[in-house]
Structure 1
């Protein structure tokens, strides 16, 4: 009787439980989440857009089409694309080694991959300047050059590709690869026909995240880049320069351009990920 009573204590007369866990946070939780996002994200973006378009569309266009602004944006986009492409290759290779190979110190290397996430980027710039600057101990001088920008940005964006590809490699069905090899396929053919299609969404996602991060990076390039207008000055340095000369509207306008580029990149990645997920569900 006691068990029956305890078993029905949480039920309504119609037999349905009144203590149901639906997973919803309710109206209060939703309101708190919306308020937090508004304070942290929406309000700052609205303030940025207000300053950028304070002089109207003509003022915004004049700010972003100025020769110095266009040069900074061009350098930023070109270098970021180069960095994303390099890390797509090298990040995939590093992820492959960490998943498929065993070697002494593997756990240490695996931990070092996340170092750029924890290390202040200005520290990375100091280290790179010490290694590749005018007094380079190894005789490699990349200070105030675009290759120096590439090295600095590659350092801070590598984990995005590695950590995107690594879990997919871990979960990949190796029996399919073994079957391909048993049918006579060589390693390169197996990788191109079997492995690469599986890794492609993760590689694209990691490369896109690396590009979006590189677009707005400042700390890692501030010292080794040299801040040479038209050559090594990236958009983030141009924005700081405009603030220093008391032109906040110009800085806000270029910031909006960077924001749009990053948003479109993330939007494309989101759409591609959704399409890949739907395709995988249909194939099951």
Structure 2
């Protein structure tokens, strides 16, 4: 029997390194967060996380992140479709601009968005003219989260569309299906797992986003305060236990949502394999 030559070392070494890396980078920080949050005492913990101002900040963060992820899912499909299926001038430049939110410092993004969408901004003046407050409001927060989340959806869908054989679409059209039916029955089921992944990543990034949101949010108590801002406020007051408690709830809720999305993907893959 011929010996199999592998490029990288064997399973034991790579698995050991993987566990060491995950423990050092992920598990130990999360464990310290849990231990720090538990050290506050159960009564004080509940008093901190159930404070009306904190609860409202969770609602703002999760609500705006959810709506931004929904919008990104729709426009992410459109952007990926255009970049994969059409040839046009400056295509590579536009493709590169998709990743700009990854490279741009969040504070710079926040300042730029605030300038654009303020009442006297280039874009904001049109929103205010029709009665929509595009800055220092929930709309402004959602706009910022759309900006930082769109690459997650687009980049997850692009490879699937590239690998999807156009013959399936042609066969569907030849059998009498219209364009909408072809997309709904042929294309969408193929990109749905990647779409859910992009949605989950955009949603998780939006929940924890601080730098690009804090400038455009206005930070009005019980209106536009986000959960990360409440954590920073606790830290500025040297209330480390309070900040850890809020962060712990944020972590648990985000984990449950991402776990639910992964569970849906797993069940979809099983149904698809049947």
Match of 1:252 among 244, 252, 263: 244
Secondary structure of the residue aligned to 2:198 is helix
Question: Please, which of 123, 142, 146 is the counterpart of residue 154 of structure 1?
Answer: 146
Aligned length: 267
Structure 2 residue corresponding to 1:267, chosen from 259, 263, 268: 259
SS in 2 for 1:199: helix
Kept in 1, the 8 Å contact 2:33–2:248? The answer is yes
| Contact 1:53–1:59, Cα closer than 8 Å, also in 2 | no
Query: Structure 1 residues 20 and 174 mapped into 2: Cα distance closer, same or farther (>3 Å)?
Result: closer
For the Cα contact (< 8 Å) 2:234–2:243, is it kept in 1?
Answer: yes
Change (3 A) 1:179 1:34: closer
1:218-243, CA deviations, whole angstroms, 9 ceiling, x for partnerless residues? 11101111111221111001110111
**Native 8 Å contact 1:71 1:230 kept in 2:** yes
- Map 1:126-205 to 2 at 5 A: 126-138=111-123, 139=125, 140=127, 142-205=134-197
Alpha-carbon distance between aligned partners in 2 of 1:211 and 1:193, rounded to the nearest angstrom: 26
Deviates more, 1:211-220 or 1:29-38: 29-38
CA distance in 2, matches of 1:62, 1:261: 18
Give the Cα–Cα distance (whole angstroms) in 2 for the partners of residues 39 and 59 of structure 1.
Answer: 30
1:79 matches 2:71: no
* Equivalences for residues 1-284 of structure 1 within 5 A: 17=3, 21=6, 25=10, 27=12, 29-138=14-123, 139=125, 140=127, 142-280=134-272, 282=273
Q: TM-score, normalised by structure 1?
A: 0.86
Report the Cα distance in structure 1 between the residues aligned to 2:167 and 2:13, rounded to whole angstroms.
49
For the residue of structure 1 that corresponds to 2:203, the secondary structure is helix
TM superposition shift of 1:57: 2.0
* Offset of residue 244 of structure 1: 1.0
Looking at CA atoms only, which structure, 1 or 2, has the larger radius of gyration? Answer: 1
Q: How many Å separate the matches in 2 of 1:197 and 1:30?
A: 34
Q: Secondary structure at the match of 2:24?
A: helix
| 1:224 alignment partner, SS class | helix
1:155-175 per-position Cα deviation (integer Å, ceiling 9, x unaligned)? 000001101111111111211
**Equivalents in 1 of 2:83, 2:154: separation in Å?**
9
Q: CA RMSD, aligned part only?
A: 2.1
SS at the partner of 1:188?
helix
Superposition deviation, residue 55 in structure 1: 2.3
Unpaired runs of at least 5, structure 1? 1-14
Ranges in structure 2 where 5+ consecutive residues have no aligned partner: 129-133
Moved more, 241-250 or 266-275: 266-275
SS at match of 2:217: coil
Q: Structure 2 CA distance, aligned partners of 1:101 and 1:159?
A: 19
Q: Distance in 2 between matches of 1:162 and 1:120?
A: 20
